[in-house]
């Protein structure tokens, strides 16, 4: 038998079943994505040297993470999963070691950068742990924190 014959006899994989949306999922995730865009745009508007990673890679990571949340991305064994945000993206959002070196930012802006990234890093964990509670209760609070942080940052520039 030839390899082509064997391969031709292997049935095609079945398509994945359509994912059922949780109640309010579409609207909640749209709100998160919008809050993430506002936070990313605020990061891009911060003063700093040309090409700095806060206005570039970090802002992109915030927008990407908040646009890709997935309540179905969880581990049913321990209720933790990535919530749609893969490890490499979470690493890009971790500013812990870089924050002290952002000497072009005021202490207030550094605090706000930490608040933004902390919220964004927490969102997929909340979603993976309990998708229904996250969509109904937790994510709206996190969006409010993001929005308040952005508004506070913008007001500090006036």
Q: List the chain domain ranges.
A: 23-155
Residue 52: predicted pLDDT: 94
In sequence order, what are the residues at sequence separation of 6 or more whose Cβ sits closer than 8 angstroms to the Cβ of residue 114?
95, 99
Q: What's the pLDDT score for residue 143?
A: 98
The torsion angles phi and psi of 85, rounded to 5 degrees, stand at -115, 105
* Confidence (pLDDT) at 8: 59
Torsion-angle region of 51 (φ positive above 0: left; ψ -120 to 50: alpha; else: beta): left
DSSP SS3 for 83: coil
More confident residue, 10 or 117: 117
Report the SS3 class of residue 153: helix
List, as one string, the DSSP characters of 86-126.
Answer: -HHHHHHH--TTTGGG-TTS-HHHHHHHHHHHHHHHHHHHH
pLDDT at 3 over 80: no
Distance CA 127, CA 134 (A): 5
pLDDT for the residue numbered 103: 94
**Can you give the pLDDT at residue 9?**
64
| Crossing angle between the packed helical segments 59-67 and 25-45, to the nearest 10 degrees | 180
Q: In this predicted model, what pLDDT tens digit does every residue of 38-66 receive, in sequence order?
A: 999 999 999 999 989 999 999 999 999 99
């206005």: which residue's tokens?
55
- The predicted-structure confidence for 68-105, as pLDDT tens digits, reads as follows 998 877 655 455 567 788 889 999 999 989 999 999 99
pLDDT in tens, 17-44: 556 767 788 999 999 999 999 999 999 9
pLDDT greater at residue 100 or residue 13: 100
């Amino acid at each position: 038998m030839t390899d082509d014959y064997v391969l031709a006899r292997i049935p095609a994989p079945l398509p994945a079943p359509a994912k059922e949306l949780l109640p309010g999922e579409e609207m909640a995730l749209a709100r998160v994505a919008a809050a993430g865009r506002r936070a990313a745009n605020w990061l891009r508007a911060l003063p700093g040297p040309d090409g700095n990673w806060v206005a570039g890679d970090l802002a992109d990571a915030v927008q990407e993470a908040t646009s890709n949340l997935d309540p179905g991305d969880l581990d049913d064994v321990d209720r933790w999963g990535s919530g749609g945000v893969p490890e490499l993206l979470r690493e890009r959002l971790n500013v812990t070691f870089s924050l002290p070196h952002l000497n072009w930012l005021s202490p207030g802006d550094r605090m706000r950068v930490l608040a933004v990234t902390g919220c964004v890093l927490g969102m997929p964990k909340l979603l993976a742990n309990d998708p229904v509670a996250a969509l109904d209760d937790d994510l709206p609070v996190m969006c409010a924190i993001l929005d308040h942080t952005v508004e506070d940052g913008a007001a500090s520039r006036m």
